[in-house]
């Protein structure tokens, strides 16, 4: 799983889709509320997989870190379930 989104300026109002590059499907979105010159707390909302993974942050760097963190965890789970049988993973 590789999640990708375009660079954006959090100071402007934006809606950015998050795409799974492996499937080409949109799996989430980023909404920037346009805080102007001032860095208002939690002005960027991120939602992935129908809101299952969601957070509000105040910078592009934190946004990038959250998306890449979810990507890493889900990729790890995918590798485990493809390497082992599901019953082995849940029993451990």
Q: Residue 4's pLDDT band (boundaries 50, 70, 90)?
A: very high
pLDDT of residue 73: 95
Extract the runs of DSSP E, i.e. beta strands, from 1-92: 3-4, 13-20, 25-33, 44-48, 53-57
Taking the C-alpha atoms of residue 55 and residue 31, their distance in angstroms, rounded to an integer, is 11
**Segments forming the whole domain that contains residue 71:** 3-91
Taking the C-alpha atoms of residue 52 and residue 28, their distance in angstroms, rounded to an integer, is 10
pLDDT of residue 80: 83
Tally of domains in the chain: 1
Closest CA to 57 of 24, 32, 82: 32
Beta bridge partners of 33: 13
pLDDT tops 60 at residue 92: no
Digit-coded pLDDT (tens) for 15-56: 999 999 999 999 999 998 876 555 556 689 999 999 999 999
pLDDT tops 80 at residue 11: no
Taking the C-alpha atoms of residue 19 and residue 34, their distance in angstroms, rounded to an integer, is 22
């Amino acid at each position: 799983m590789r999640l990708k989104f375009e660079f954006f300026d959090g100071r402007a109002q934006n809606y950015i889709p998050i795409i799974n590059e492996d499937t080409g499907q949109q799996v989430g979105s980023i909404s920037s509320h346009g805080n102007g010159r001032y860095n208002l707390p939690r002005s960027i909302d991120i939602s992935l997989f129908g809101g299952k993974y969601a957070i509000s942050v105040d910078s592009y760097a934190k946004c990038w870190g959250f998306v890449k963190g979810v990507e890493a965890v889900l990729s790890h789970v995918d590798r485990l379930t493809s390497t082992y049988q599901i019953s082995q993973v849940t029993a451990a």
